[in-house]
Structure 1
Amino acid sequence: MQSYIGFMTLGASVGGFRLGDMLIQLATFLILLILLKKYAWGPLMNMMQKREEYVAGEIDAAEKSRKEAETAAKEAQAQLLQVKQEAQKMIEDAKNAGVKQEQDIIETARKEAERIKLQAQAEIQNEKELAIQALQSQVASLSVLIASKVIEKEISEQDQEKLINEYIKEVGEER
């Protein structure tokens, strides 16, 4: 037995290693590793895998949200640009309409002023004609009065008309 114990103990002089203890400890260690793998390492790895998938999913969702936000921002910018262009066009149209309306008002005022001017000239001409006729008739009657006093003689009605007509002709030619 001594040889068996000697065989089982290696390096007895230094404190030695017992092969049986080592095998039991190795078997226990292997059983412990198998149990750890089954009950601790496996679930831990499953949790780590799920966590990795969750983080990857979150990253994908964030990337997708970022792309959607970029697309929405581009669309909003395009719409804003379109609205600005439409507003600029509306302002330009309003300016053009204002200029056209201004020109129409000026043209209407110019035509009205021309019409009033022509009407005033026509009224002036009519008043002038009436004044000349009234003046001629007053001059004729005054001429007859003066002539009858100067001549102090009686002139026939025909002679009076002849003198008046001559005087009217002279007055008409002078003007």
Structure 2
Amino acid sequence: MDQLLNDFSPGLFFMQAIILIILILLMIKFAWKPILNSLQDREDGIKNALDSAEKAKLEMQNLQADNKKLLNEARAEREAMLKEARDMKAKMIEDATGEAEAQANKIIEQAQAAIESEKKAAMAELKSHVAGLSLEIAEKVLKGELSNKDKQLSLVESMLGDAKLN
């Protein structure tokens, strides 16, 4: 340390101090402002990025809320469509049942009319057959007893009275 004090030169010290002050002034003038500007730009960029992230977060929350709303609306619409489809199905089944019953009643009525028609035809045929049998009987009786008219009439009347037409 003694050597340092012995080697100390005040002129060199002041010269180095002046060079250091000039160097600091040059640094302030030419380097300090660009460094501070770049730091400020970086700080502004980070702040803008944080603001953008916050806006994106809010927008994402809004989109999620809109998506939930759309999803709920879609569910409600789906439920309404399903209810409408069920109602249409029930109505179609009811209409088909009513139409089937109407057709069944119509078929039953037609069958009853056909049965009645067949019954009348059978009765007419039976009457015709009975009349033919009656004529055959009368013919046989007439052939057998052509001599006595009174006997023939009483015989035909008794035979016709015995035959029931119903």
Normalising by structure 2, report the TM-score.
Answer: 0.76
* Distance in structure 2 (CA, Å) of the matches to 1:114 and 1:155: 57
Q: Which runs of 5 or more residues in structure 1 are unaligned?
A: 1-10
Distance 1:162 1:119, change over 3 A: farther
* Structural mapping, 1:64-143, within 5 Å: 64-143=55-134
* Distance in structure 2 (CA, Å) of the matches to 1:13 and 1:140: 170
How many angstroms does 1:146 deviate by?
A: 0.6
Among 40, 48, 61, the alignment partner of 1:49 is 40
Matched, 1:171 2:140: no
* Distance in structure 1 (CA, Å) of the matches to 2:44 and 2:51: 10
Distance 1:14 1:33, change over 3 A: closer
* Distance in structure 2 (CA, Å) of the matches to 1:115 and 1:31: 121
Number of residues paired by the alignment? 161
How many angstroms does 1:14 deviate by?
A: 5.0
Tell me the amino acid that sits aligned with residue 32 of structure 2: W
* Distance in structure 2 (CA, Å) of the matches to 1:13 and 1:132: 159
How many angstroms does 1:140 deviate by?
A: 2.5
Matched, 1:31 2:22: yes
What stretches of structure 1 move > 4 A for 4+ residues in a row? 11-14, 158-165
* Distance in structure 1 (CA, Å) of the matches to 2:115 and 2:4: 156
Distance 1:20 1:128, change over 3 A: same
Percent identity reads 29
Tell me the amino acid that sits aligned with residue 79 of structure 1: L
Matched, 1:58 2:25: no
The root-mean-square deviation of aligned C-alpha atoms, in Å, is 3.1
Matched, 1:146 2:140: no
